[in-house]
Amino acid sequence: MTLIKSISGIRGTIGGAVGENLTPIDAVKFAAAYGTWLKQQRSKTDYKVVVGRDARLSGDMIQNLVMNTLVGLGIHVVDLDLSTTPTVEIAVPMEHADGGIILTASHNPKQWNALKLLNAKGEFLDGAEGQKILEIAESDAMTFAEVDDLGEITKNDAYIDIHIDEVLDLEYVNQKAIEDANFKVVVDGVNSTGGIAIPLLLERLGVEAVKLYCDPTGHFPHNPEPLKEHLGDLSAEVKKHNADFGIVVDPDVDRLAFMDENGEMFGEEYTLVACADWVLSQNPGNTVSNMSSTRALRDVTEKHGGTYEASAVGEVNVVTLMKKNNAVIGGEGNGGIIYPESHYGRDALVGVALFLSLLAERKLSVSELRKTYTSYFMSKKKIQLTPTLDVDAILKAMEEKYSKENLTTIDGVKIDFAESWAHLRKSNTEPIIRIYTEAKSQTEADNLADKIIAEIKQIANI
In which band, very low, low, confident or very high, does the pLDDT at 451 lie, cut at 50, 70 and 90?
A: very high
Task: Determine the pLDDT at residue 390.
Answer: 87
Q: Where in the chain is the domain with CATH 3.40.120.10?
A: 3-156, 162-372
Taking only the tens place, the pLDDT of each residue in 330-357 is 999 989 999 999 999 999 999 999 999 9
Count CB neighbours of 119 within 10 A.
18
Average pLDDT over residues 266-292: 96
Task: Determine the pLDDT at residue 461.
Answer: 81
Residue 285, phi then psi, degrees to nearest 5? 180, -160
CA atoms of 217 and 445, how far apart (whole Å): 37
- Would you call 208 helix, strand, or coil by DSSP? strand
Q: Where in the chain is the domain with CATH 3.30.310.50?
A: 377-460
Helix and strand numbers, DSSP H then E, in the chain:
15, 20
Q: How far is CA 284 from CA 169, 279, 313, 363, in A?
A: 20, 7, 25, 21
CA atoms of 175 and 171, how far apart (whole Å): 10
In the predicted structure, residue 155 carries a pLDDT above the cut 90:
yes
In the predicted structure, residue 183 carries a pLDDT above the cut 70:
yes
What is the CATH T-level fold of the domain 162-372, as seen in this structure?
Alpha-D-Glucose-1,6-Bisphosphate; Chain A, domain 3 (3.40.120)
In the predicted structure, residue 429 carries a pLDDT above the cut 80:
no
Task: Report the candidate in 347, 377, 402, 405 with the shortest Cα–Cα distance to residue 173.
Answer: 347
Report CA torsion sign: 388, 389, 392, 393: positive
DSSP 335-401: TEEEBTTTBSS--HHHHHHHHHHHHHHHT--HHHHHTTS---EEEEEEEE--TT--HHHHHHHHHHH
Average pLDDT over residues 265-294: 96
Task: Determine the pLDDT at residue 188.
Answer: 98
Sequence-separated (6 or more) residues with CB below 8 Å from residue 153: 67, 68, 71, 76, 77, 79
- Mean pLDDT of the residues in the chain: 95
Taking only the tens place, the pLDDT of each residue in 241-252 is 999 999 999 999
Active-site annotation holds for 106: yes
Taking only the tens place, the pLDDT of each residue in 96-146 is 999 999 999 999 999 999 999 999 999 999 889 999 999 999 998 899 999
Which residues lie across from 6 on neighbouring strands?
9
Average pLDDT over residues 223-244: 95
Termini Cα distance of the chain: 22
Q: How far is CA 46 from CA 75, 79, 92, 97, 98, in A?
A: 7, 16, 15, 10, 10
Task: Determine the pLDDT at residue 59.
Answer: 98
* Backbone dihedral region for residue 416 (phi beyond 0: left; psi -120 to 50: alpha; all else: beta): beta
Task: Determine the pLDDT at residue 388.
Answer: 82
What is the CATH T-level fold of the domain 377-460, as seen in this structure?
TATA-Binding Protein (3.30.310)
In the predicted structure, residue 7 carries a pLDDT above the cut 70:
no
Task: Determine the pLDDT at residue 68.
Answer: 98
Taking only the tens place, the pLDDT of each residue in 65-88 is 999 999 999 999 999 999 999 999
CA atoms of 300 and 387, how far apart (whole Å): 42
Q: What is the DSSP letter of 218?
A: S
Taking only the tens place, the pLDDT of each residue in 18-44 is 999 999 999 999 999 999 999 999 899
State percent of the chain over pLDDT 70: 99
**CATH 3.40.50.300 matches 3-156:** no
Task: Determine the pLDDT at residue 243.
Answer: 98
Its pTM stands at: 0.93
CA atoms of 65 and 101, how far apart (whole Å): 12
Task: Report the candidate in 193, 324, 303, 320 with the shortest Cα–Cα distance to residue 254.
Answer: 193
Catalytic residue among 8, 58, 106, 379: 106
